[in-house]
Every structure is written in structure tokens, then in C-alpha cells.
Amino acid sequence: MESHVRGGTRWKRFAVVMVPSVAATAAIGMALANSALAASFSVSGQSFKVTTKELKGTGFSQYGAIDEGYTLDGKKTSHPVAVSAFETATIKNLCQSVVTPNIPVLGNVSLVLRAGGGETPVEAKNLYIDVADLKADAEFTNIDIGVAAGDANKGPGIAKGDKANPFGFAQQADEVLLKDVEQTAWATTAGTFKLSGLTMKLSTGVKECY
């Protein structure tokens, strides 16, 4: 699993970070739409917004961590996050958006990704989402609250490279169902990600999932 510690992202690279993969070329986008590939998404120093109609996950755990990166002007930054980890997940109506401000000549530029809007949902394995804010209707099966992060055994474990205290508070569950999700995140990584019905759009101005 790729570390969640992120380096700087320059504008020349901005257009290739949103699949969620650090190589969102058209070829990679087509591959993600038709097969399962390792994938990650982050924009250093910037949070991004995510909405889903429904997320079903198995092997769930959640623990605290620190995401590190750089702002667009090169300053080092750190953000506390709650890492939601899933051994497997299916996602309906996925939307991810990020706005990069103050691009020379263009001003604000938005990038929006959508997938899983048809009959086939997005599929992921060993999925990690570094969450700063979350709103959803949630249902947990066999939840265990108060387990130490390093002792959680229902999820995929602490991601390699995460700045997380293995003795810190965590929770876990056999299954989780999240509906009408709105969240702000700093990073998403997955062992494999399959994006059915993938679309990506770059546009000027501020256009976000919510």
C-alpha cells in the first residue's frame, strides 16, 4: 500500500492526479474503467470532496492519523484525519472533485470525476480514505468501539507509511453501509480500484460534488 505522505503537486501535474490515481491519463482512465488497478488520489496541500449514494464495505476499521504534504506555495503542512479502511467496498454514484485556485490566466480550475452511476458500482479492495469531515446515514454490523488501532483485525490494518499511533483509539466492524455520503478527504488509496462508467471533466470556475 502506498504511503499517505504526499509530496508537492505542481500545476503541470494537476491534470493527471484525479482518477483517483497519480497517473490519470486517458489510457489509465480507460484501464480503471475496465479492469482493477492499484490506485491513489491526493492533491498535496488540498482537500477534495467526495459524494456517494451508497457505500457497502466489509472488513471495516477506522483510526486516527496525520497526513503530511505541501501547500501550493511549497510550505509543509499537516492535517489530522480519520482513516476509514475497508477490505472490500462497492460504491454507487461516486463523485470526486477538487478545485485548484489562482491558476495564472485561468483562475480557479475544477476537476470532477464520476463513476458507478449505472447498474455496475465502483469496486475497491484494501480501500483507505483519509477523512476530515463526513456526513452520512450509517449502519454497522458487529461493531467494536474502543479497540487499539494496532489490534484491529477486521479491516486491512494500518496502511504502510501512515503516521498513526498503534495504541490510539480505533473502531471496527464486520460490515458497514453508508448512504447519502458527503465527505471532505485528504487522500484515497486502494489496492485495486475498478471505476465503471468513468467520466472526468476539467473546467474553469468552482464546480464541486456538493
Q: CA angle, corner 114, sides to 188 and 108, nearest 5?
A: 80
CA atoms of 55 and 123, how far apart (whole Å): 10
CA atoms of 16 and 5, how far apart (whole Å): 18
CA atoms of 208 and 95, how far apart (whole Å): 9
For residue 62, what are the CA distances in angstroms to 85, 140, 144, 149? 6, 12, 11, 8
CA atoms of 51 and 176, how far apart (whole Å): 16
pTM: 0.81
- Say what the pLDDT of residue 45 is: 66
- Say what the pLDDT of residue 31 is: 53
CA atoms of 186 and 45, how far apart (whole Å): 8
CB 58 within 8 A of CB 174: yes
- Say what the pLDDT of residue 12 is: 40
Q: How many residues does the chain have?
A: 210
- Say what the pLDDT of residue 178 is: 97
- Say what the pLDDT of residue 81 is: 95
The x, y and z cell numbers of residue 57, run together, are 464495505
Closest CA to 84 of 50, 121, 34, 46: 50
CB 89 within 8 A of CB 52: no
CA atoms of 63 and 146, how far apart (whole Å): 10
- Say what the pLDDT of residue 32 is: 52
- Which positions ≥6 away from 10 have C-beta within 8 Å? none
Q: Within the chain, which residues score under 70 in pLDDT?
A: 1-45
- Say what the pLDDT of residue 44 is: 56
CA atoms of 54 and 37, how far apart (whole Å): 22
- Say what the pLDDT of residue 17 is: 37
